[in-house]
C-alpha cells in the first residue's frame, strides 16, 4: 500500500483529494529527478506548514535515505550520517528579504520577489492558504506561472483565487481555518512520504 492510501485510510475525509495528492507527488518526483527544488509560501499557520514540509523533504522522513557511495572524499563518519534530500525552500523564513522588500517596495509581493529571484526551470512553487485567497501567495503563483514553473495550491474547500491559477490544487473539504489546517497536515505528510518512497525506496 502506498503512503497516500495509508493516510486516506486513517483520514477518510481526504478521499476526494487522492488525485490531487498523487499529482503533487508526481510533480515533486519529476522536479527532483530534473534537479529542481520546491519553493513554499504561506502565512501564519501555513507559514509553519512550509517549514514542516521542508523539514520532511530535506532529510529522511520515514526512511533514513543513506547517501551510499556518494562523496567518496568525505570523512566516513560524516558520510555515513548524511541523508539524501529533496530540495525545498520555505520562503517565509527569508526574513531579511521579506522585511527589506516589505519596507522598500510592497509587502504583498515578498513571496513573488522570492519566487522571481530563486525560481528556475524545473522548479515547483507550492502555495498554502486556507481560503485560497491570500494576496501574497496568489501573487507568488502568478509570478511562478509567468516563469513557466509548475504551480501547486493547497487550500480549503472552495480553492479561492489560487484554484484559478495553479496547475494542481488540493482543496481539502473544510472551510474553517483550523479545520483546513488539520487536514493539510496529513495530506502533506502523505505527499512527502510517498515522494520519499518513490525516490528512495
Residue among 78, 86, 81 at smallest CA distance from 34: 86
Q: Which domain holds residue 14?
A: 3-200
Per-residue pLDDT, 1:
66
Could you tell me the CATH number of the domain that includes residue 184? 3.40.50.10490
Per-residue pLDDT, 75:
85
Distances 83 to 24, 55, 151 between C-alpha atoms, Å: 23, 12, 27
What domain count does the chain have? 1
- pTM equals 0.96
SS3 92: helix
Kindly list the averaged pLDDT for each block of 10 residues, start to end, along the chain of length 201. 93 97 98 98 98 98 93 90 97 97 98 98 98 98 98 98 98 97 98 98 89
Residue among 183, 158, 180, 182 at smallest CA distance from 169: 158
Amino acid at each position: 500500500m502506498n503512503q497516500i492510501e495509508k493516510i486516506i485510510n486513517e483520514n477518510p475525509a481526504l478521499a476526494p483529494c487522492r488525485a490531487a495528492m498523487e499529482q503533487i507527488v508526481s510533480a515533486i518526483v519529476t522536479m527532483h529527478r530534473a534537479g529542481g527544488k520546491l519553493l513554499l509560501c504561506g502565512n501564519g499557520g501555513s507559514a509553519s506548514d512550509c517549514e514542516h514540509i521542508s523539514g520532511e523533504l530535506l532529510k529522511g522522513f520515514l526512511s533514513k535515505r543513506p547517501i551510499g557511495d556518494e562523496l567518496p572524499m568525505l570523512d566516513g563518519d560524516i558520510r555515513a550520517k548524511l541523508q539524501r534530500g529533496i530540495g525545498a525552500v520555505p520562503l517565509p523564513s527569508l526574513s531579511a528579504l521579506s522585511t527589506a522588500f516589505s519596507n522598500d517596495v510592497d509587502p504583498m509581493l515578498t513571496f513573488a520577489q522570492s519566487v522571481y529571484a530563486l525560481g528556475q526551470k524545473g522548479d515547483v512553487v507550492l502555495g498554502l492558504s486556507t481560503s485560497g485567497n491570500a494576496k501574497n501567495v496568489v501573487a507568488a503563483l502568478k509570478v511562478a506561472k509567468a516563469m513557466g514553473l509548475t504551480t501547486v495550491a493547497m487550500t480549503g474547500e472552495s480553492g479561492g483565487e489560487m484554484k484559478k491559477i495553479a496547475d494542481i490544487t488540493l482543496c481539502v473539504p473544510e472551510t474553517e481555518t483550523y479545520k483546513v489546517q488539520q487536514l493539510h497536515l496529513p495530506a502533506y505528510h502523505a505527499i512527502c512520504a510517498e515522494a520519499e518512497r518513490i525516490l528512495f525506496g
